[in-house]
Amino acid sequence: MEVTFFQWIILGYFLLLSLIYIISNVLAFSILKNYSYKLEAFPDASFLSVTDMPPVTIIAPAFNEDLTCVEATRSLLTLEYPDYEVLVINDGSTDQTLKRMIRAFDMHPTPRMSMADITTAPVRVLYRSKNNPNLWLIDKENSGKADSLNVGINYCTSSLFCSVDSDSLLERSALTKIVKPFMEDTSTIAVGGIVRIVNGCTVSDGQVTDIRLSDNLLVKFQVLEYLRAFLVGRMGWAAIKATFIISGAFGLFQRETVVQIGGYSTRRTRGETVGEDIELVVRMSKYCREQKRNYAISYIPDAVAWTECPESLKGLKRQRSRWQRGLLEATTRNIGMFFNPRYGRLGMVSFPYFFILEGLGPIIELISYIYFVVLLLDISSASFTFITAYLMVAFVLGIVLSIIALCLEEISFRRYPGLMDLFQLFLLSVIESFGYRQLNAWWRIHGLYTFVMRRDGWGNMDRKGFRK
């Protein structure tokens, strides 16, 4: 039986997706090889004079983070960087976040001048720590993460600001590493770092002291996903100067450019989006292109933030659905960039990829899984050519690409020293194609549905806190 037109569409989707992943792997390998060489030549990762390092303001929005906010803030206070301050933005938390921060860091009301006038929700009180003068706590009315980031930008006095999640832990050298592209290239407007999963690791004094895989199977799958997304995906897009996403969990931005475009999108400005990190980067690139201004967006693979990930199916579904909705909101709001040569590689390459293959692709993906199962139930009338080709592009290639991502991690950074941890990750590279990826496709379609139905809100994530 011949391959039908519908079957060619399915195969074409997976082939195109795999081709892009293969190219990303090649580019990532090339960059990581050169990067590893530089690390060997300059092992302290700080060969540039510390006296030349620009001041940085770290902005950490917090909403109901009483289980992690104190430990995460301690992590921020131990960074090896000469000149920085930390602004923790309490977004009207209803738990003990505010009280725990005040008690843990001996904070007292202190006046501070606003440096910008981005429209935000009212600020109630500003606190400053007596023990750590570079730590501030800003208490405001609840209005969402993007609005909280804008509050931080308004009170930011430095030329660069770093956005982090309040439940994230930065490694001590992370800020020193992520700031380097700004020092090496004055056209840099944003730099992203890598996000790793802290579940299962041991945390002491705000730092990850023992890296181990969690016992939770869902967490292990997410570790694999994060390695694939950051070490391969983000690295590949940065290599061709078409970066589309910088994670809201850890990114460094040029404050002036962000203020010029009006800050993050909120319900008070252009309408709130749960993908505020994607939307900001897209809009910054769009603005620079329209102003005919040279700009650069970079990615540093060993500037590390550790974050807690969902451990339940319900929590993971909410997260993936939210991510999908955020991607679709960011792309549809800037749809004029779609295949528009005015916006260079971003408009002609990365925007179409993320809008079509990542934004709408899960529909084709889930339909293909259902269709394949139906064919197997009536194998006598199915095309052997299609079944073989589908298994290769939808399953075998996916497994191979995951294993390559693990090999890149092992060659470059070797963050998981335990042989059993590595063996589990290699095994999961095979297992995830049979069940977990199908679940992910379904969750992303749910995100597409919530986007079409204009659902609002972030949903809740159950926190367990860091393992001490």
Tell me what the mean pLDDT of segment 175-191 comes to.
Answer: 95
pLDDT value of position 50: 57
More reliable by pLDDT, 460 or 376: 376
CA distances from 280 to 133, 248, 255 (A): 30, 10, 12
- Average pLDDT, integer, range 374-402: 89
The reported pLDDT for the residue numbered 41 is: 47
CA dihedral 116, 253, 318, 405 (to 10 degrees): 180
**pLDDT at residue 68 greater than cutoff 90:** no
Nearest residue to 162 (alpha-carbon basis) of 268, 84, 273: 84
384 vs 44, higher pLDDT: 384
- Band of residue 46 on the pLDDT scale cut at 50, 70, 90: very low
Between 51 and 45, the higher pLDDT residue: 51
Q: CA–CA separation, 139 vs 122, rounded Å?
A: 9
- The lowest-confidence range among 46-55, 114-123, 282-291 is 46-55
Q: State both tokens at 164.
A: 């982090």
Q: Which residues contact residue 396 at a Cβ distance below 8 angstroms, ignoring those fewer than 6 apart? A: none
Predicted pLDDT at 461: 59
Burial of residue 99 (CB within 10 Å: 0-12, 13-18, 19+) is: exposed
Of 435 and 50, the structure prediction assigns the larger pLDDT to: 435
Query: Does the pLDDT at position 55 exceed 60?
Result: yes
User: Has residue 271 got a pLDDT over 70?
Assistant: no
Q: What is the side-by-side strand order in the sheet with 169-170? A: 107-109, 123-129, 135-140, 84-91, 56-62, 160-164, 250-254, 188-197, 296-307, 169-170
Look at the pTM and tell me if it is higher than 0.75. yes
| pLDDT at 327 (0 to 100) | 95
pLDDT higher than 80, residue 267:
no
% of the chain at pLDDT higher than 70:
93
DSSP readout, 249-266? TEEEEEHHHHHHTTSS--
| Measured distance CA(432)–CA(227) in Å, rounded | 14
What pLDDT is stored for residue 38 in this prediction? 60
* β 250-254/160-164 pair status: antiparallel
Query: Would you say 53 and 429 are in contact if contact means Cβ atoms under 8 Å apart?
Result: no
Query: Would you state the structure tokens that stand for residue 367, as one six-digit string?
Result: 């339909």
Summarised one tens digit per residue, pLDDT across range 307-333 is 999 999 999 999 999 999 999 999 999
Widest distance between CA atoms in the chain = 77
C-alpha distances in Å from residue 431, one per residue of 94, 326, 395, 438? 40, 28, 10, 12
Highest mean pLDDT among 26-40, 199-213, 293-307: 293-307
pLDDT given at position 231: 84
Percent of the chain with pLDDT over 90: 71
At 79 the pLDDT is: 94
| Domains of the chain in sequence order | 19-348 (3.90.550.10)
pLDDT at 466: 63
Integer angstrom CA distances of residue 421 from 184, 208, 221, 299, 411: 37, 17, 12, 26, 15
Task: Return the pLDDT at 251.
Answer: 96
What is the DSSP code string of 204-245?
Answer: ETTEEEE----S-HHHHHHHHHHHIIIIIIIHHHHHTT----
Beta bridge partners of 90: 62, 139
pLDDT digits (tens, 9 = 90+) for 26-42: 998 888 877 765 655 44
Predicted pLDDT of residue 127? 98
Query: Rounded mean pLDDT of the chain?
Result: 90
Residue 455's pLDDT band (cuts 50, 70, 90): confident
Instruction: Look at residue 204 in the predicted model and tell me its pLDDT.
Output: 86
Give the pLDDT confidence of 99-143 residue by residue, as tens digits: 999 999 999 999 999 999 999 999 999 999 999 999 999 999 999
